[in-house]
Each structure stands twice: as structure tokens, then as C-alpha cells.
């Protein structure tokens, strides 16, 4: 590991440690291959230098008769190896991830350029071009689980407004397929995901990206973004931009029980597109890294949705989404919160608490062991 000044960073270098701003804002995880977009983001954050992996790290010389002490290994954290690498390591080392990362970062750059006329209120934008940015990524993955695998591991690469909007657009496209919507409806849903947070560009970045707790005034400003987004999109007539796309921007923080904002709408007063975008939006936010926590694994997110989801999200959408996410990761290897590893062999009615077969062959029914839970994927 060695320190490299930001101005000397090159594409392809691998981060040795997590990259954070001086305020603790998360920028990139360890083990990430630098791209032109990521280097520009590191530079724009005012980070003077970062730790980079050595090209060929030297292996520690250990006498054949000696053995590394077990105490040197961190307890309950499995170490990746060639036969069974950790989940994130396995995905990031794949050729498919490298290809997706390149296309994804380019798509975010294109999205930023495509949204510029909307944000600056300088005229028409090419909505067809925006969909053309997202759909090659959606259609280019082999399965829904591959898309979510890619997105879970892109969280550490970019967490800008545009990255989040791209993620919500991509997740919404997969969600639309799960719901068997017509292709035209899926295209509109993807567009709604790409545009849902455009108003955040009107909020000062020092407020939006503040690592600590918001003041009441700052929180009110952040909560104004649905209305800001709607106002920007309302500049375009309905025969150009579908009203459902505009309502998704305005209502994606509304909740079925009336606890949302900005209008406190309830039930059927919330547009269906907004309800679908709300699920994709929250899922992406919860699986993203934050300055105060690591990304949550899919089963932790499912558990959070199960706790209050049916009161806040439309059952027609949230149940389908959770069922598909859980089924996508069935038979996946996981780590429990007590450090034991195993494989998911059966999904219970409570999807976040399946039956797990441990490495010794025994089985644990998480629905009957409330003190145990899934901590991460392996």
C-alpha cells in the first residue's frame, strides 16, 4: 500500500482503504478500480491523496514449520480465498463487473448531461436519450440477481444524485419486468426513476451531503426536493412528459398511511408510479453506504420493509418486490450475526428469516430463533 496524490491518480489503480472526505462522507470502498469519473469525484471532494494498493503485493514469508497465529485473524469475519471469496470480492473481481462499472459510470456522466437542461430550466431535454442510457444496462444483465449484485457493489463507487437516480431507474426497470408491465410502461417507469430526484440539484451540496445530523432548517430544505423536482418537470407539457412521471417526482416520499411528505397523502390518492418509485428509492438508499453505516445486505432491507412496509407501501407492490428479492438470493451463502456461515435452503413466510443450512450440516430456522439474523451475503 502506498499514498498517491489525487492529481497523480490513474485509471485502473485500486483503492487500498475506503476513501472519505475530511467530513467523513463516504466516496469509495477499498478494492475499487479507479475510473475517470471516480477520480474526478475524488478531486471535486477536495481529497488531497488516497491509499492505493501496490501493483504486486509481496507475500509475507512464513517458515514452512510455522503457522500464523489464529488470534491474528479478525473473529467472525470470513476471509475470501480462491475457492470461496467473499461476496463483494467475488463480484468486483469478475469481468462482468468491470464491464458493468465502465458502462455504468459512462451512463451517469451521460445522465448528468441529459438532465442539465431540466436543472438549468433552459429548454427541452431528450427524454428518449435518457431511456437509451439506462436500457442497455437493464437488458445487458443475465438476470435480476446479476443487476442487484452489480448495483450493491457499485454503491461504493459513486453516491451522487445522478448515481442514485440511475440506480432507481435501473431498479424500477427490473421491478416493472417483475410486475409484467408492457414495455412502454416500463420505459416510463425507468424515466420516472431517472427524474424523480432532479430537484435535489437545487439544494446546496454542503447541505445535501452533510455527514452529521441535519438542523431543522436543513431537514426542511432537503424535504423540499419532491416539490422542487415537480416544479422543474411541470415546465414541460403533458403531451411531452407523461403526468405520471411528474407525480412520481412529487409523491415518491408519500406513504400509504399518510406519514409521508410533502402533502401527507394516503391510500389511493398516491399515484401508482409514485408508489413503485418509492419502493425502488428506499431500497437503493438502504443498500447504499452512508458515513454512519455500511451498506445493508438485501435480507436486512427485507426485514426493515417487513417491519412497517405493509402500512407504508402498497401491498401489491411491496409484496412482489420483497418476494422477488428474496427468491433471487435463495440458495445464496450468507453470514449470520453470530459469525456462522451457511446456505439459504428454504424461504419462510417472513422472507427475511429463512431456514439456513450451516457448514456442519445442521439447519437453523431463523423464524424460530429471534436472536439470529442474516448479517451479510458471502
What is the domain count for the chain? 3
Indicate if 276 and 202 belong to the same structural domain.
yes
Domain-located, residue 72 = no
For 54-98, how does the pLDDT look when each residue is reduced to its tens digit (9 = 90+)? 864 333 333 333 333 222 232 233 333 333 346 677 787 888 888
pLDDT for 144 equals: 82
Domain-located, residue 81 = no
Q: Is the pLDDT of residue 112 over 50?
A: yes
Give the mean pLDDT of the chain.
84
Query: What's the Cα-to-Cα distance from 32 to each of 7, 21, 35, 156, 198, rounded to whole Å?
Result: 18, 16, 9, 8, 27
Range of the domain at 15: 4-56
| C-alpha–C-alpha distance, residues 216 and 330, integer Å | 42
Indicate if 243 and 367 belong to the same structural domain.
no
pLDDT for 81 equals: 31
**C-alpha gyration radius of the chain:** 22
Indicate if 113 and 217 belong to the same structural domain.
yes
**Contact assessment for residue 322 and residue 305, using Cβ atoms and an 8 Å cutoff:** yes
CATH of the domain at 201: 1.10.3210.10
Domain stop point among 279, 295, 311: 295
Query: What's the Cα-to-Cα distance from 130 to each of 6, 123, 275, 308, rounded to whole Å?
Result: 31, 16, 21, 33
pLDDT for 70 equals: 29
Question: In the numeric block, which cell numbers belong to residue 55?
Answer: 501493483
Mean local confidence (pLDDT), 229-235? 98
Check: pTM over 0.85? Answer yes or no. no
Q: Is the pLDDT of residue 232 over 50?
A: yes
Domain-located, residue 228 = yes
- SS3 sequence, 220-243? HHHCCHHHHHHHHHCCCCCCCCCH
Question: In the numeric block, which cell numbers belong to residue 14?
Answer: 485500486
Grade residue 32 by pLDDT with cuts at 50, 70 and 90. Answer: confident
Indicate if 278 and 231 belong to the same structural domain.
yes
pLDDT for 71 equals: 28
pLDDT for 23 equals: 59
For 305-362, how does the pLDDT look when each residue is reduced to its tens digit (9 = 90+)? 998 877 999 999 999 999 999 998 887 889 999 999 999 999 999 999 999 999 899 9
**Contact assessment for residue 35 and residue 16, using Cβ atoms and an 8 Å cutoff:** no
Indicate if 214 and 360 belong to the same structural domain.
no
For 139-194, how does the pLDDT look when each residue is reduced to its tens digit (9 = 90+)? 888 888 888 888 877 765 445 789 999 999 999 999 999 999 999 999 999 999 99
Domain-located, residue 324 = no
For 130-144, how does the pLDDT look when each residue is reduced to its tens digit (9 = 90+)? 999 999 999 888 888
- Edge-to-edge strands of the sheet including 374-377? 363-365, 355-358, 341-346, 333-336, 374-377
Indicate if 177 and 49 belong to the same structural domain.
no
Domain-located, residue 325 = no
pLDDT for 45 equals: 65
Indicate if 225 and 344 belong to the same structural domain.
no
For 192-217, how does the pLDDT look when each residue is reduced to its tens digit (9 = 90+)? 999 999 999 999 988 988 878 899 99
Indicate if 97 and 173 belong to the same structural domain.
yes
pLDDT for 85 equals: 47
Amino acid at each position: 500500500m502506498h499514498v498517491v496524490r489525487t492529481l497523480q491518480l490513474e485509471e485502473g489503480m485500486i483503492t487500498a482503504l475506503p476513501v472519505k472526505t475530511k467530513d467523513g462522507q463516504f466516496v469509495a470502498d477499498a478494492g475499487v478500480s479507479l475510473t475517470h469519473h471516480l477520480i474526478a469525484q475524488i478531486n471535486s471532494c477536495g481529497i488531497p491523496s488516497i491509499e492505493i494498493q501496490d501493483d504486486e503485493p509481496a507475500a509475507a514469508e512464513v517458515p514452512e514449520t510455522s503457522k500464523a497465529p489464529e488470534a491474528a485473524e479478525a473473529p467472525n469475519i470470513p476471509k475470501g480465498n480462491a475457492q470461496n471469496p467473499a461476496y463483494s470480492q467475488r463480484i468486483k473481481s469478475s469481468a462482468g463487473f468491470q464491464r458493468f462499472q465502465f458502462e455504468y459510470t459512462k451512463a451517469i456522466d451521460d445522465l448528468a448531461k441529459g438532465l442539465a437542461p431540466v436543472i438549468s430550466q433552459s429548454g427541452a431535454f431528450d427524454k428518449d436519450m435518457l431511456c437509451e442510457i439506462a436500457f442497455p444496462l437493464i437488458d445487458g444483465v443475465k438476470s435480476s440477481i446479476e443487476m442487484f449484485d452489480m448495483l450493491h457493489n457499485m454503491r461504493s463507487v459513486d453516491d451522487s444524485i445522478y448515481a442514485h437516480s440511475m440506480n432507481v431507474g435501473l431498479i424500477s426497470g427490473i421491478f416493472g419486468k417483475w410486475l409484467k408491465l408492457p414495455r412502454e410502461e416500463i420505459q416510463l417507469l425507468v424515466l420516472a426513476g431517472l427524474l424523480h430526484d432532479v430537484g435535489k440539484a437545487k439544494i446546496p451540496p454542503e447541505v445535501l451531503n452533510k455527514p452529521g445530523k441535519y438542523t431543522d432548517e436543513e431537514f426542511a430544505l432537503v424535504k423540499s426536493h419532491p416539490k422542487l423536482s415537480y416544479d422543474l418537470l411541470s415546465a414541460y407539457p403533458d403531451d411531452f412528459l407523461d403526468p405520471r412521471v411528474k407525480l412520481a417526482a412529487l409523491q415518491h416520499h408519500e406513504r400509504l398511511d399518510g406519514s409521508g411528505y410533502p402533502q401527507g397523502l394516503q391510500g389511493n390518492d398516491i399515484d401508482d408510479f409514485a408508489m413503485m418509485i418509492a419502493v425502488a428509492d428506499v431500497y437503493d438508499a438502504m443498500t447504499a453506504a452512508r458515513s454512519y453505516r455500511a451498506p445493508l445486505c438485501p435480507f436486512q432491507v427485507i426485514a426493515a420493509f417487513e417491519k412497517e412496509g405493509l402500512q407504508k407501501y402498497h401491498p401489491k407492490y411491496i409484496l412482489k418486490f420483497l418476494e422477488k428479492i428474496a427468491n433471487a438470493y435463495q440458495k445464496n451463502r450468507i453470514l449470520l450475526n453470530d459469525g456462522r456461515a451457511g446456505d439459504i435452503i428454504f424461504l419462510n413466510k417472513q422472507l427475511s428469516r429463512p431456514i439456513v443450512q450451516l457448514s456442519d450440516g445442521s439447519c437453523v430456522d431463523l423464524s424460530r430463533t429471534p436472536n439470529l439474523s442474516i448479517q451479510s451475503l458471502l
